[in-house]
Structures are given as structure tokens and as C-alpha cells.
């Protein structure tokens, strides 16, 4: 799939006509048509604007599937302890067991802005403890379907805390969870979580992409239905939001 086809698909996904997109960009609908048919290529300035309007990573518009190292497509669903045990049995017999560990994640946000609010979570910054490793992770979500993700291992968390303080980053939540992970169908990483104070969750993440992130997200929904998960319980806010809410009670 080339730039034109990706642009056409994303525009239609947002239910925007060529004329409406043209009006937003102050160009003609013929210009949009020429981009989508690959008779012409948008300038870098226009690509930046298109990524903002379509709420999609500019890397995908330009490079397609080649940019997925920095993309994560997943869903997280709240489940009962009964369903948790059912899934443990199912994946034990039908998937490859990967790991079992305790994870401690500390979330931060700048004092001058809020990553978390009363309605949704669009981005977060966290330090995750994974055994002897500590990972600094940043995510920026798009439509709750996929996110840009960047992370790096840190070897001096004390100095990082000092840097955070200087930059005005405040600690907002600590998430303590026990996680079991499985590889299912050689494509999906399944994480079964027990989160202290919150209960049980299942997280399904695409590990091997064969389609663009939007289509992969739709495939995740189909898989969740096959696993008899309640899609009404999809969590779009994330663990830190709920921890903060619990602490405010």
C-alpha cells in the first residue's frame, strides 16, 4: 500500500469527503484526488497537517508498515476472577507460555499539563520495574486503538528522579500488578493481569503485523469476541487513571 492508498483509507475511516478535506487544507478536491491516486505527492508540510487531521502517525502515512517498531496496537478488558481462571486454562492448553512476573509501574506528568483527566487518557510517561531492569516508557494514544510508543532502559533511577524534579515532573500513580503472558497464534501477546486494588484484566497486543494498525485493531475485537470477552468492558483509560480515582475515594 502506497501513500495515496493509505491517505484514501484513513480519510474514509474518518468519514471525511475529499471536498471536506480539501476545505480544511485550503486546497482543491482535485488536489486530494491527485494525492490519493498517486499522481502527486503531498509536501512534508501537508503530510504533517494530514497526520493531525486524520489523527494518525505521519510515519505510517509516509512509510506504511515499515514504521511499526514504534507503534503498539492493543486492547485491555476488565474481567472477573472466574473469567481470568478460564483464560489461564485456555491459554495453558492453546498458547505458548512466555513469562510470569511482578511489575511495578510509576507514572509521572508535568506540573503544567495533565496526561490524565476525567474523561480520557491520551498519553503517559512511566518508569516500569521488570525484575532488575527499569524501563522509561512514553505512549501517545490515537483513538484508543493504537499508540506511538518509545522506551529506553535506565541504569540510574536516582538521577532520573532528580532530572524529573528539575523538569517539573510529578509522580501521580503507582500500579502494582502480577502478570502472566502468552503468545497466541504466533501473532498476539496475551497478558493476564491481577492489579492491586483494581482486580483482573486481559490485555491483547499485536506482535506480528500483517495489516495497518486500524485493521489490526478490528481483528483484535474479533479475537476478543471469539474468546467470549465483554467488549463493553474495554478499558480506554488505563491503570493509572483508575488508581488515581481509587485514591480519591
**pLDDT at position 13:** 86
- Tell which residue, 160, 56, 131, has the closest CA to residue 47: 56
Cα 71 from Cα 141, distance rounded (Å): 10
> Does residue 205 share a domain with residue 87?
yes
| CATH code of the domain in which 178 resides | 2.40.320.10
pLDDT in tens, 158-204: 888 889 889 888 888 999 999 999 999 999 999 999 999 999 999 99
Residues 143 and 194 in one domain: yes
Cell numbers given for 200: 483482573
Residues 26 and 115 in one domain: no
13-17, 45-49, 228-232 — most confident range: 228-232
* Number of domains within the chain: 2
Domain span at residue 40 reads 3-55
Strands (E), the chain: 71-79, 96-110, 123-130, 133-142, 146-154, 169-184, 188-195, 199-206
What's the pLDDT tens digit per position in 82-106? 999 999 999 999 999 999 999 999 9
Angle at 54 between CA 239 and CA 71, to 5 degrees: 45
Considering only CA atoms, give the Rg of the chain.
20
Question: Are the beta carbons of 57 and 73 closer than 8 angstroms?
Answer: no
Is residue 64 included in any domain, yes or no?
A: no
HEC profile of 3-37? HHHHHHHHHHHCCCCHHHHHHHHCCCHHHHHHHHC
Instruction: Tell me, yes or no, whether 66 lies in a domain.
Output: no
The CATH number assigned to the domain holding 9 equals 1.10.260.40
Total count of residues recorded for the chain: 249
Instruction: Say if residue 119's pLDDT is above 60.
Output: no
Q: Which three cell numbers stand for residue 121?
A: 487518557
Q: Using CA atoms, how far apart are residues 87 and 202, in angstroms rounded to an integer? A: 9
> Is the per-residue pLDDT at 64 higher than 80?
no
Query: To the nearest 10°, the Cα dihedral for 21, 23, 26, 28?
Result: 80
105 assigned to some structural domain: yes
Please give the pLDDT value at position 185: 96
Tell me the backbone φ, ψ of residue 246, rounded to 5 degrees.
-65, -40
CA–CA separation, 184 vs 188, rounded Å?
5
Amino acid at each position: 500500500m502506497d501513500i495515496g492508498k493509505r491517505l484514501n483509507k484513513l480519510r474514509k475511516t474518518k468519514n471525511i469527503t475529499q471536498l471536506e478535506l480539501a476545505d480544511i487544507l485550503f486546497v482543491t478536491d482535485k488536489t486530494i484526488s491527485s494525492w490519493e491516486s498517486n499522481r502527486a505527492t503531498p509536501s512534508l508540510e501537508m503530510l504533517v497537517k494530514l497526520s493531525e487531521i486524520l489523527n494518525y502517525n505521519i510515519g505510517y502515512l509516509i512509510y506504511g508498515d515499515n514504521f511499526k517498531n514504534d507503534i503498539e496496537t492493543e486492547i485491555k478488558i476488565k474481567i472477573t476472577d472466574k473469567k481470568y481462571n478460564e483464560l489461564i486454562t485456555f491459554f495453558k492448553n492453546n498458547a505458548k507460555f512466555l513469562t510470569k512476573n511482578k511489575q511495578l509501574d510509576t507514572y509521572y506528568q508535568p506540573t503544567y499539563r495533565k496526561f490524565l483527566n476525567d474523561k480520557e487518557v491520551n498519553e503517559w510517561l512511566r518508569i516500569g520495574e521488570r525484575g532488575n531492569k527499569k524501563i522509561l516508557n512514553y505512549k501517545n494514544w490515537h483513538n484508543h486503538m493504537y499508540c506511538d510508543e518509545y522506551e529506553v532502559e535506565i541504569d540510574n533511577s536516582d538521577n532520573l528522579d532528580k532530572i524529573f524534579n528539575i523538569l517539573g515532573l510529578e509522580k501521580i500513580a503507582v500500579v502494582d500488578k502480577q502478570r502472566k503472558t502468552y503468545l497466541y497464534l504466533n501473532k498476539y501477546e496475551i497478558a493476564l493481569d491481577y492489579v492491586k486494588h483494581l482486580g483482573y484484566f486481559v490485555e491483547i497486543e499485536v506482535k506480528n503485523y500483517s495489516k495497518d494498525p486500524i485493521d489490526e485493531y478490528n481483528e483484535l475485537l474479533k479475537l476478543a469476541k471469539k474468546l467470549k470477552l465483554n467488549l463493553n468492558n474495554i478499558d480506554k483509560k488505563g491503570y493509572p487513571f483508575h488508581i488515581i480515582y481509587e485514591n480519591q475515594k
